[in-house]
Amino acid sequence: MKHTKFALCAAALSVLALAGPVAAQDRVFVGIATGGTGGTYYPLGGMLAQLISNNAELEGRRISATAETGNASVANAGLLAREEIETAFIAADILDAAYNGANQFEDNAAENLRALGSLYPETVQLVARTGAGISSFADMAGKSVSSGSPGSGQWQLLGDLLEAHGMAREDVTEDYSSFAQSADKIKDGNLDASLITAGIPTASITELANGHDIVVVPLSGDEIAALQEVQPYYANATLPAGTYRGVDEDVQTLAVRAIWATHAGLEDDIAYAMVKALYENTDILSQVHVMGGQISLDTALESISIPLHPGAERYYRERGILE
């Protein structure tokens, strides 16, 4: 496993340090590529790493898992395709595109990608600073907006939304900051809006809203319905009132599921043990983040359009989820 691009999650390492002495040759090291510290992938990935390290059973060996920060879905798909990490969190639409060689992955299909299980819905949040004059997506014309790194899932989503509303990228000023960086720029008045897809509440938005007035722009109506005809992974969702300070009414928006994925080279027994550890200990994840409470065996196969890893498939058959 290559770990040159990531920082190890301290929380996961602390758990391993307390796990007791185990011979190095008896350990299997597994990485989980997540996202930036301002999103949801990172804290849930850290807890999942602890959960696996403490609960995954592998005859004669112990699995030592670590969560690692990264650049989220598109970058994570690339890491798995090159087998530079064992597992990763990836949005369902990006995972499908990577496997089939579509959109950002045109002529570069990653047919070795495999799914471990569906996690939770990631809510699309178009956050604007109060005073920017943005109350609907149509108001984005002439405004500055962060869409994350070029080629990322956020970048693709912004393009989809612009097209659905009869606009082009040239109609906005794009900024390519991370969640946390874009929140800082909104605070300073240097950015009008940021498009953020993550589990709610999202840490960077919570911090922003606690000190500054914000608007969460609704994404609904005929344009969104038309978009869903061509991008079925975008499901209707509601951002509940009170999610952030100043958001006093429900906001209609979109969501896409996060998928835990791997590559075909991962050992079947390791995949089986990790999937079993997750879905038989989901109550632990809800203690870290509210979205952890939405991870369930009942929805473990939702939005999965690529082949399951044989180890995961074995577990689901044992539980009667698959025939």
What mean pLDDT, rounded, does the chain reach?
90
For residue 36, what pLDDT is reported? 83
133 and 224 fall within a common domain: yes
Residue 8 CA to its chain's centroid (Å): 18
Tell me: pLDDT of 204 over 70: yes
CB 89 within 8 A of CB 9: no
Which of 234, 256, 278 marks a domain boundary?
A: 256
- The pTM score is 0.84
124 or 40: whose pLDDT is higher? Answer: 124
Residue 42 sits in a domain whose CATH number is: 3.40.190.10
pLDDT of residue 13: 40
Q: Which residues contact 23 (CB under 8 A, 6 or more apart)?
A: none
Start-end of H helices in the chain? 10-17, 41-55, 72-81, 92-100, 153-164, 179-187, 203-211, 222-230, 268-279, 282-285, 310-318
The answer on 270 and 235 residing in a single domain is no
Q: In this predicted model, what pLDDT tens digit does every residue of 146-193 receive, in sequence order?
A: 998 887 888 889 999 999 999 999 999 999 998 889 999 999 999 999
Pick from 256, 282, 310: which residue ends a domain? 256
CA–CA distance from 233 to each of 55, 97, 142, 256 (Å)?
32, 11, 28, 6
pLDDT band, very low/low/confident/very high, at 71 (cuts 50, 70, 90)? confident
Q: Which domain holds residue 115?
A: 10-120+258-318
As beta bridge partners, residue 29 has 64
Range from 63-67, 83-87, 230-234 carrying the lowest mean pLDDT = 230-234
Mean pLDDT of 190-213: 94
Is the domain of 25 the same as that of 56?
yes
Residues 116 and 264 in one domain: yes
- pLDDT over threshold 80, residue 130: yes
Structure tokens at 292: 């952890």
Among residues of the chain, what percentage have pLDDT more than 70? 92
Model confidence pLDDT, tens digit, residues 251-305 = 999 999 999 999 999 999 999 999 999 999 998 888 877 888 899 999 999 999 9
Burial 108-147 (b: 16+ CB within 10 A, else e): eebeebbbbbbbbbbbbbbbbbeebebeebebbeebbbbb
The domain total for the chain is 2
Same domain, residue pair 194 and 233:
yes
